[in-house]
């Protein structure tokens, strides 16, 4: 779940969409398994949210923890839904920020990821 765990192989020139006329062609055969992974993650998050809602917190600390977990689960669920929508629109595997092709290895580790590594790093730096 951590982008940091990705092997640190970056292209010599980042974000060069014209280098390969169809960088997503490689991705095409992997879309069904990536969709399955997204649907599994979605089911997990929906279950997690239901469990968190069902568990009645006994004190303020626990309620705060539960709130944080719910927020995280909702964010993850929204990312998953957005990825599924991009898949339906044929935009899956493209960075939503700069339109660069996201490497398949990154998508296999993080199927719901919306940003390429360069944009992810830039976002992590400001947040």
Stretch that binds Zn ion, among 41-49, 60-68, 80-88, 113-121 (CB under 5 A): 113-121
Q: Whole-angstrom Cα distance, residue 23 to residue 46? A: 33
Closest CB 118 distance from Zn ion, rounded Å:
5
Question: Binding to Zn ion (CB under 5 A): which residues in 38-97?
Answer: 95, 97
In the complex with Zn ion, the residue whose CB is nearer, 84 or 116, is 116
* Nearest to Zn ion of 54, 89 (CB atom): 89
In angstroms, give the least distance from the CB of 62 to Zn ion: 39
Cβ within 8 Å of residue 17, ≥6 positions away = 23, 99, 100, 101
In sequence order, the β-bridge partners of residue 101 are 94
**Closest-CA residue to 39 (of 100, 103, 106, 88):** 88
Structure tokens at 62: 């626990």
When asked if residue 116 is in the footprint of Zn ion (CB under 5 A), the reply is yes
Which CB sits closer to Zn ion, 83 or 119? 119
What is the smallest separation between the CB atom of 119 and Zn ion, expressed in angstroms? 3
Q: Which of 71, 69, 95, 70 is nearest to 82 (CA)?
A: 95
Kind plus residue range of the DSSP H or E element containing 75:
helix 60-88
Pick from 31, 87, 98, 104: which binds Zn ion (CB under 5 A)?
Answer: 98
Residues lying near Zn ion in the complex (CB under 5 A): 95, 97-98, 100, 116, 119
């Amino acid at each position: 779940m951590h982008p940091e765990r990705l092997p640190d192989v970056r292209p010599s020139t980042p974000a060069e969409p014209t280098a390969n006329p169809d960088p997503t062609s490689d991705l095409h055969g992997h879309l069904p398994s990536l969709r399955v992974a997204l649907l599994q993650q979605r089911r997990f998050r929906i279950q997690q949210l239901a469990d968190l809602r069902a568990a009645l917190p006994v004190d303020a600390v626990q309620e705060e923890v539960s709130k944080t977990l719910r927020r995280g689960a909702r964010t993850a669920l929204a990312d998953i839904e957005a990825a599924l929508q991009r898949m339906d629109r044929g935009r899956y595997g493209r960075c939503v920020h700069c339109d660069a092709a996201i490497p398949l290895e990154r998508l296999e580790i993080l199927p719901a990821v919306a940003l390429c590594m360069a944009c992810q790093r830039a976002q992590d730096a400001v947040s």
